[in-house]
C-alpha cells in the first residue's frame, strides 16, 4: 500500500486497486437507497486494509444492507444466491426453465430426446409459437470457473444432431430451432467467439450485455429462494429438494415452510421478505 492506495484480492488471486465506484454501482443495482449505500460504504471503509479479499468486502456490505433492507440485501446477494443452486446443478436447470416460462415459453426440464443419430439428455427444452430451443445449463459452484470453448463445441454438435431429428417432425413445421448454453458464471473468450461464429446464443451472469442472466432475473423478478436472508443453508436446500426454486412460488407452499418447523410468526417473516424481494405475492 502506497499513499493510502488499497489493493484487494480477487477470488482468482489477482490483486487489483479497490474500486469504490464499482461497489457503489453494485449497491445501486440492488435497489439500495442513498442512505443505505452511504451506510454500507462507511462500514466497508472501517475494515479496509491492503490485501483484503473482495469476498470480505462483499460480506460487510451485505451485512450493512441486511440491517437496513432485506429487499436490497436479497438483490445484492443475487450472484451468490445463483452459486447456491446446487450442489447437483438440477435446481439451476429448473430455475432456467422457470425463466423461460416467464418469457412466455412452454418448457420441459431434464428430458431425453432422440437425435438423428443418438439419444441426448437435454436440460431444458423451451418452445413458443415461433421457435424451439435446446438449452444446456452449465452450473458451477466456484465463481472463478468458466465454460470454455470445448463446452460450446460439444453443445453445438449435439444440437445439430437434435435439430436434424426435430426438423423431420410434422409438429415442428414452421419452427426455428436453436441451441443455447446458459451458465451461472462466465464463458471464456474463445467460447464466446466460437458461439458467435456459428450463431449459437450464450447466456452467462453478465453476458450478453442487456440480455444476461442477471438482466432476465431483474426484469422478471424471478429471484431464487437462495436469495432469502431469513433462511439458513439447510432450509434453502430443503426447499430446493422439494422442487421450489423461486421466491414467488413460496406463498403457495406454506406447508413446506411449516414442515421445517416454522411457526406462524417465522413463516410470516419469510413471506414478508418474499414480498419485499419480488414486489408481490
54-75: pLDDT as tens digits: 878 877 887 787 777 665 666 6
Is residue 1 assigned to a domain? Answer: no
The pLDDT of residue 185: 93
The pLDDT of residue 75: 64
Residues 171 and 265 in one domain: no
Residues 48 and 94 in one domain: no
Answer yes or no: are the C-beta atoms of 190 and 141 closer than 8 Å.
no
Q: What is the domain count for the chain?
A: 3
Burial group, residue 231, by CB count within 10 angstroms (0-12, 13-18, 19+):
buried
Is residue 2 assigned to a domain? Answer: no
Residues 171 and 206 in one domain: yes
Q: Which domain holds residue 259?
A: 223-278
* 277 or 42, which is more confident: 42
The string of pLDDT tens digits covering residues 132-163 is 999 999 999 888 899 999 999 999 999 999 99
Residues 42 and 18 in one domain: yes
Residues 50 and 139 in one domain: no
Residues 182 and 207 in one domain: yes
Residue 211 has pLDDT above 70, yes or no: yes
Instruction: List Cα–Cα distances, 263 to 159, 247, 259, in angstroms.
Output: 48, 19, 10
Q: In what order do the strands lie in the sheet with 52-53?
A: 15-17, 7-9, 52-53
The pLDDT of residue 281: 42
Report the b/e string of 5-20 with b at 16+ CB within 10 A. Answer: ebebbeeeeeeeebee
The pLDDT of residue 280: 55
Residues 227 and 127 in one domain: no
**For residue 159, which of 113, 208, 127 has the smallest C-alpha distance?**
113
Instruction: List Cα–Cα distances, 27 to 154, 184, 210, 266, in angstroms.
Output: 37, 20, 18, 27
Residues 141 and 238 in one domain: no
Question: What pTM did the predictor assign?
Answer: 0.79
Residues 229 and 259 in one domain: yes
Amino acid at each position: 500500500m502506497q499513499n493510502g492506495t488499497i489493493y484487494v484480492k480477487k477470488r482468482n488471486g489477482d490483486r487489483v486497486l479497490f474500486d469504490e465506484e464499482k461497489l457503489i454501482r453494485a449497491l445501486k443495482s440492488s435497489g439500495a437507497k442513498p442512505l443505505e449505500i452511504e451506510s454500507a460504504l462507511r462500514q466497508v471503509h472501517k475494515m479496509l486494509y491492503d490485501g483484503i479479499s473482495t469476498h470480505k468486502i462483499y460480506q460487510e456490505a451485505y451485512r450493512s444492507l441486511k440491517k437496513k433492507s432485506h429487499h436490497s440485501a436479497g438483490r445484492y446477494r443475487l450472484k451468490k444466491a445463483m452459486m447456491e443452486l446446487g450442489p447437483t446443478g438440477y435446481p439451476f436447470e429448473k430455475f432456467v426453465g422457470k425463466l423461460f416460462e416467464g418469457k412466455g415459453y412452454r418448457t420441459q426440464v431434464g428430458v431425453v430426446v432422440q437425435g438423428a443419430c443418438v439419444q441426448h439428455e437435454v436440460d431444458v427444452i423451451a418452445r413458443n409459437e415461433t421457435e424451439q430451443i435446446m438449452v444446456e445449463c452449465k452450473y458451477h459452484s466456484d465463481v472463478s470457473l468458466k465454460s470454455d470453448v470445448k463446452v460450446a463445441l460439444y453443445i453445438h454438435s449435439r444440437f445439430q444432431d437434435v435439430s436434424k431429428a426435430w426438423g423431420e417432425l410434422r409438429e415442428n413445421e414452421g419452427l426455428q430451432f436453436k441451441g443455447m448454453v446458459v451458465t451461472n458464471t462466465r464463458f471464456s473468450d474463445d467460447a464466446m467467439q466460437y458461439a458467435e461464429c456459428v450463431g449459437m446464443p450464450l447466456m452467462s451472469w453478465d453476458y450478453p450485455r442487456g440480455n444476461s442472466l442477471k438482466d432476465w432475473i431483474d426484469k422478471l423478478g424471478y429471484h431464487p429462494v437462495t436469495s432469502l436472508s431469513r433462511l439458513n443453508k439447510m432450509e434453502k436446500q430443503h426447499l430446493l429438494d422439494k422442487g421450489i426454486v423461486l421466491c414467488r412460488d413460496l406463498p403457495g407452499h406454506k406447508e413446506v415452510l411449516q414442515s421445517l418447523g416454522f411457526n406462524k410468526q417465522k413463516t410470516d417473516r419469510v413471506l414478508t421478505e418474499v414480498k419485499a424481494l419480488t414486489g408481490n405475492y
